[in-house]
Amino acid sequence: MGKRIEFFFDFSSPYGYLAAQEIEALGERQGAEVVWRPFLLGASFKATGIPPLVEVPWKSDYARHDLTRAARRIGVPYVWPEPFPFMSVAAARAYYWLDESDSAAAKELALALYAKAFGEAGDVAHAGEVPEIAVGLGHDRNAVGAALQDPEIKARLREITDQALERKIFGSPFFFVDDQAFWGHDRLPHLEQWLETGGS
């Protein structure tokens, strides 16, 4: 079996946005397949009692500076979306709709959604905005619209969010290589070293 990275993230997670810019290149360098798994981080916050970043005094202000620096470090545009956090349900459903038949197209959509949210502070929270972005990538507007209300797609996102809870995912982005958990954009070098050395 080939090497495999599982990449769990919430579309409203700014550090998830940064990780999404780098994870495929990392996978390519290490000959590892990357499986993208958007989920709803709110469920983890509820399970652990961890508050959303913006609700933590001092840490929230710090994060704004840190994100600007971290994005500049890797050379990607970054703006803080308003409002933040935003509802990421529609974005995640659209992802799983495409992922069923074409994971490359799903990743392309994910990057476009992330670029809109954190590259331009655009709205991807509302059901109307997500099809707009999908249409820009050549997808059919009615098909996307229908997918966002499809009971099977809804169930798929719930299933992945349940898996995230079972696997004790408490933040975003969150990665697994085999059973090894890595939390945070800043752990990509650790993850890469793990793949390189086989964990030794």
Q: Which residues bind its own copies (CB under 8 A)?
A: 44, 47-51, 56-59, 61-62, 65-66, 69-70, 73, 168-171, 180-184, 186-187, 190, 193-194
Helix extents (H) in the chain? 14-30, 41-48, 59-74, 89-99, 103-114, 129-136, 141-148, 151-166, 188-197
C-beta of 148 vs 169, nearer to its own copies: 169
C-beta of 55 vs 140, nearer to its own copies: 55
The least distance separating its own copies from the CB of residue 11, rounded to whole angstroms, comes to 21
Residue 54 DSSP class = G
C-beta of 112 vs 169, nearer to its own copies: 169
Return the structure tokens found at 88: 């990421």
Rg of the chain over Cα atoms, rounded to whole angstroms, equals 16
The least distance separating its own copies from the CB of residue 57, rounded to whole angstroms, comes to 5
Contact 105, 143 (CB under 8 A): no
The least distance separating its own copies from the CB of residue 42, rounded to whole angstroms, comes to 15
Contact 131, 145 (CB under 8 A): yes
The least distance separating its own copies from the CB of residue 19, rounded to whole angstroms, comes to 14
CB-side neighbour CA atoms (13 Å) of 38: 31
The least distance separating its own copies from the CB of residue 191, rounded to whole angstroms, comes to 10
C-beta of 28 vs 186, nearer to its own copies: 186
* Backbone phi and psi for residue 32, each to the nearest 5 degrees, phi listed first: -115, 140
C-beta of 145 vs 184, nearer to its own copies: 184
Contact 130, 94 (CB under 8 A): yes
